Structure 1
Amino acid sequence: MTATRTPAVFIHGLWLHATSWGPWLELFREAGYDPVAPGWPNEPDTVERARQEPDLVANLGIDDVTAHFAAIIAALDAPPVIIGHSFGGLITEKLLGQNVGAAGVAIDPAQIKGVLPLPLAQLRAGSPALANPANLHRAVSLTQKEFRFGFGNAVSQEESDALYEKWTIPSPARPLFQAAAANFVLHPQAKVDTANDRRGPLLLISGGRDHTVPDVVTRATFKQYRDSVAVTELQQFETRGHSLTIDSGWWEVADSVLGWLKANGL
């Protein structure tokens, strides 16, 4: 009789394609999980097609993406481990706060309501979308230089450029506007139920050299969970930037995630 394999759902963030999770899927499959990495709503199957048809994902908001992944998870045979990067990390937090999934790992998660630090590096990293209010309804692409600052600053120029060519796609700007306004509107889509005591375990991961989601932002996110008795932990990779899930050191982060899951009986 074949043992049941725990599902694992991977959620990417802005400007990366779902296939960027490929090495993680292989590692998790070898570790005994049943991993999948669905794209965001309307996201084409390949990087090339996503670049050719940017309007397919234009105007998507945080709630749209959350509902999309909630429906995917509802169709699974068992509650999955949810692993998200950047805005995928924020979606992971939202889903777990809604008691969707068995556990969550939020890697360099976009800031949620209640998080106050706003470092200059983060403002610069978000400026390709936020600098023009008309981008709210558009899909926006990064230039190679913008990717270098926001993602690849902790790796070599050569590696950053290679990652840019391999994985970047246009992404909706709306989630960035929603996160930026979260502390100033009544019902923000970037709000997470951080006080939920019944949710599964949550691991937050930060990169010490991350410009897009600086370590101080992830530490402030961690503090938002102080009123919950559910397991919440923080791991920090001091020398890593926002590309930590796709660059040559991805395995270090992935191995740490697998160790944490095992330690929590998952």
Structure 2
Amino acid sequence: MKTLSISKYVLIFSLFIQATAFAAETPKTDDKPKGTKTIMLISGAFVTSDGWGEWKSYLESKGYIVIVPAWPYKDGTVDGLRAKHKDSIPSEYDLKKIVDYHAAIIDKLPEKPILIGHSFGGLIVQLLLQRDKGAAGIAYHSVPAKGVFVYKYSFLKALSGPLGLFRSEDTTFLMSFKQWQYAFTNGMPEAEQRAYYDKLVVPESRKVIRGALKDMGKIDFKKEHAPLLFVSGSTDNIIPASLNKKNYERYIKYQPEGSVTEYKEFEGRNHLAMSQPTWQEDVNYIIAWASKY
């Protein structure tokens, strides 16, 4: 009986060792997507979609399928677009047309994507969620919905040129390097500011950006929506954290039971936070949040 008992212990120990070895050889999947595997990164006004390059590569390394559509009139090189749209952009484009364009891409996907939109792209995310086009949405340093406003000097100063309210909406606006330094890249070394300016900045349609002030930029805050996260930065001049928080609070005030809206402010982030050294901290927080839903 004693010998049989020892044999059993030897067998159990042997099986335990084999199981441990098998587990060690099995790749870990904790950082892989468990729900929605598709992400759409939506760029904002004044720039091309090339600012998402590092995010796209990083998210793909985590197992996501990442789509980064260029706006319909921004598919080209910076130099080419600056020359092509120096004075005007086809008048057919407005905010609704840009939202329709992204919605049409989503409709061809096998699943509703996680939507991450920067700046004006954040407003597009809100409008797409209103159409039930996303599994979850992240409004990253987002332009607010119509009717959400703050009287903060940096916000008014940074937007006065782009909106150009005393100029025709059929004109374009190309941000100067000085305006770029203040609105997007404050706090960065000048060499980095210049490099990103040369890489990203293109003429923008005033008609499109003024759409945020019209009914096409309106959100029905009482309507049920997929989970939505607002992310802001403490040093963002053009879209200050207080404006993002006010947009978030408007949802919280009216949203129906069952909808989820959350807010996160990161310290030391300017408007081009997607390209600051801390960008991985931002994207990791966003993905961890989205994975809950």
Aligned residue for 1:221? 247
2: CA distance, partners of 1:207 / 1:217? 11
Alignment of 1:240-255 (within 5 A): 240-255=269-284
Whether 1:238 aligns to 2:264 is no
Aligned residue for 1:196? 223
* Equivalent of residue 70 in structure 1, options 103, 106, 131: 103
1: CA distance, partners of 2:63 / 2:139? 21
Letter in 2 for 1:209: T
2: CA distance, partners of 1:69 / 1:253? 24
2: CA distance, partners of 1:84 / 1:122? 19
* Equivalent of residue 173 in structure 1, options 203, 206, 209: 206
1: CA distance, partners of 2:275 / 2:47? 9
Aligned residue for 2:178? 145
Alignment of 1:52-91 (within 5 A): 52-54=83-85, 55-56=88-89, 60-91=93-124
2: CA distance, partners of 1:26 / 1:135? 39
Instruction: Provide, for residues 118-176 of structure 1, a one-character-per-residue CA deviation record: whole Å limited to 9, x for no partner.
Output: 31211111122223532411221111100000001132222212211111111112233
Q: TM-score under structure 1 normalisation?
A: 0.89
Instruction: Provide, for residues 25-47 of structure 1, a one-character-per-residue CA deviation record: whole Å limited to 9, x for no partner.
Output: 11111111110110112222322
Letter in 1 for 2:264: Q
The sequence identity of aligned pairs, in percent, is 28
Whether 1:160 aligns to 2:189 is no
Query: Secondary structure of 1:235's match?
Result: strand
2: CA distance, partners of 1:166 / 1:259? 30
Give the paired residue count.
255
Aligned residue for 2:29? none
Letter in 1 for 2:180: F
Q: TM-score under structure 2 normalisation?
A: 0.81
Contact 1:43–1:57, Cα closer than 8 Å, also in 2: no
Aligned residue for 1:185? none
* Equivalent of residue 103 in structure 1, options 136, 156, 167: 136
Aligned residue for 2:55? 24
Q: 1:57 to 1:89 in 2, by over 3 A?
A: farther
Contact 1:58–1:173, Cα closer than 8 Å, also in 2: no
Q: 1:214 to 1:100 in 2, by over 3 A?
A: same
More helix by share: 2
Q: 1:225 to 1:5 in 2, by over 3 A?
A: closer
1: CA distance, partners of 2:89 / 2:209? 18
Structure 1: gaps of 5 or more residues: 183-187
Query: Secondary structure of 2:236's match?
Result: coil
Contact 2:123–2:142, Cα closer than 8 Å, also in 1: yes
Structure 2: gaps of 5 or more residues: 1-33
Query: Secondary structure of 1:146's match?
Result: helix
Give 1:247 shift. 3.0
* Equivalent of residue 256 in structure 1, options 278, 285, 291: 285
Whether 1:119 aligns to 2:152 is yes
Aligned residue for 2:66? 35
Q: Bigger shift: 241-250 or 125-134? A: 125-134
Contact 1:112–1:192, Cα closer than 8 Å, also in 2: yes
Q: 1:29 to 1:224 in 2, by over 3 A?
A: same
Q: 1:57 to 1:145 in 2, by over 3 A?
A: farther
